Amino acid sequence: MRHTEFWDRLDHHLGSAYARTWASQQVLGGLGHRTPEQALDDGATPKQVWAAVWEALELPASER
């Protein structure tokens, strides 16, 4: 997964107006108590970050 796909998926589920705000403010335990944005900035892969986001948002398995 590339960064663009990660952001496209997040936009799809949260809306483009809210996705970036959510990613910069929502601290996730699955990311070591970092926000998705911090995790990406720290070098986590978009796939790793998406897995934590998927779990936090309780998305269906088809969106994994």
Please tell me the distance from the alpha carbon of residue 53 to that of residue 58, in angstroms, as a whole number.
8
Token readout for 43 is 């070098």
Distance CA 54, CA 46 (A): 12
pLDDT recorded at residue 23: 98
pLDDT, tens digit, for every residue of 1-60?
A: 999 999 999 999 999 999 999 999 999 999 999 999 999 999 999 999 999 999 999 999
Q: At what angle do helices 46-57 and 3-14 cross, to 10 degrees?
A: 20
What pLDDT does 50 receive? 97
Q: Report the pLDDT value the prediction gives residue 39, as an integer from 0 to 100.
A: 98
